[in-house]
Amino acid sequence: MKRAMALLMTAAMGFAIAGCASTGSTVNTKKGAVLGTVIGAAAGGIIGHQSGRGLEGAAIGAGVGAVGGGVVGSAKDEAEGDY
């Protein structure tokens, strides 16, 4: 159980860092990844708490939020021509 939690947390942090550290990223991509991580962790924590797995839910939510936020931010950058 602890190993799975450590793996989920590592993956979530990796997504967050990758969303912020890519060479082609710009402001909207970075902001989207960070905001997505925060919102995803909060939502995942709340949803996970309902099933007794709040930390796991937060970790999964953070990873999904980081990726989703980065994708949305990247699309906004492309639309603005900032890429």
42 C-beta neighbours (distance < 10 Å), count: 15
Single pTM value for the model: 0.65
Q: Cα separation of 66 and 13, whole Å?
A: 9
Q: Cα separation of 45 and 56, whole Å?
A: 7
pLDDT tens digits along 6-21: 666 666 666 666 655 5
**Domain ranges in the chain?**
2-18+27-80
pLDDT band for position 77 (cuts 50, 70, 90)? confident
Residue 35's pLDDT is: 92
pLDDT tens digits along 23-71: 554 788 889 999 999 999 999 999 999 999 888 999 999 999 999 999 9
